[in-house]
Amino acid sequence: MAQRAAIVTGGSSGIGLEIARMLLEEGYAVTVASRRPDKLEQAVADLSGEGREIASVAGSMADEAVIAEVVATHRERFGRLDVLVNNAGLGIGAPVAEIEAKRLDMQLDVNLRAIVLFYRESVEMLRAAAAEHRSARRRPRKGPGPATRLAPRVVAPAGSAERPIARTAPATARDCAIRRIVRSCFSRPHPASAQREHRPNESHHV
């Protein structure tokens, strides 16, 4: 079983892809989920490297069966979940008088409903990881390095947020901005806020 593992939705491009890359670089096993099989296949090929553990599931996050498959595939492959990144998202803009119900339904299904369903499907693994992390914090620190591991994280950086950047900036600037956002999502808390952030009964949202 992996020592640390994460699920990243909307992980075939943009912020999701960079989150998956960063987690893999830091030793996490990662399950990447995305709607388009072709883009997901390319992303997995890009992310794969020596010693990296990665799984993938293609499908729409508006589909409850796909969400269940993502979590089941992750559980079977890695057996634990420390980080859940609800990055998949879409934006469908229109004047109020022109909003189509089917487009509104899809936006709500992906941006809101899917997040709740992912919580439901993965809550047992998240709770198990939280208990393990709390136990680790109570043990005496041995040797150099951080005294504790961060508690499980649930992250929702809104996958569609990077699209305006892609239209107005060169790729290098866009990638730099995305990496900065990713790092800020997973940065360790300031010592002054550690006690508040690490209370056992609090959820961790970024």
CATH of the domain at 121: 3.40.50.720
Please tell me the distance from the alpha carbon of residue 46 to that of residue 91, in angstroms, as a whole number. 26
The verdict on residue 151 lying in a domain is yes
Could you list the residue range(s) of the whole structural domain that residue 175 is in? Answer: 5-197
Length of the chain, in residues: 206
CA distance 204 to 206: 7
Q: Whole-prediction pTM value?
A: 0.71
Virtual CA dihedral for 166, 47, 109, 5, nearest 10 degrees?
-130
152-194: per-residue pLDDT in tens? 556 654 433 333 333 333 444 455 555 565 556 555 554 444 4
Six-digit token pair at 27?
């030793």
pLDDT exceeds 80 at position 15: yes
| Eight-state DSSP code of residue 65 | H
pLDDT at 35: 95
In a domain, 205, yes or no: no
**Residue 53 clears pLDDT 50, i.e. is over it:** yes
What's the Cα-to-Cα distance from 65 to each of 40, 57, 58, 62, 68, rounded to whole Å? 18, 12, 12, 9, 5
H-helix segments, the chain? 14-25, 37-47, 64-78, 101-108, 114-138, 163-168, 171-186, 191-197
**Which SS3 state, helix, strand or coil, does residue 57 take?**
strand
| Residue 177 pLDDT | 55
- Asked if residue 63 belongs to a domain, the reply is yes
CA dist 170 and 199 (Å) reads 42
Residue 124 lies in a domain: yes
Number of domains in the chain: 1
Q: Confidence band (pLDDT; 50, 70, 90) for 11?
A: very high
Is there a domain that residue 59 lies in? yes
Q: Which residues contact 76 (CB under 8 A, 6 or more apart)?
A: none
Q: Which two tokens stand for residue 168?
A: 């107005």
Q: Is the pLDDT of residue 206 over 50?
A: no
> pLDDT higher for 12 or 165?
12
User: With b meaning 16 or more CB within 10 Å and e meaning fewer, what string describes 176-194?
Assistant: ebbeebbeebbeeeeeeee
Whether 25 maps to a domain, the answer reads: yes
Per the CB < 8 A criterion, the answer to whether 92 and 160 are in contact is no
More confident residue, 51 or 36: 36
Tokens, residue 84: 């859940």
Chain-wide mean pLDDT for the chain? 79
Is 83 part of any domain?
yes
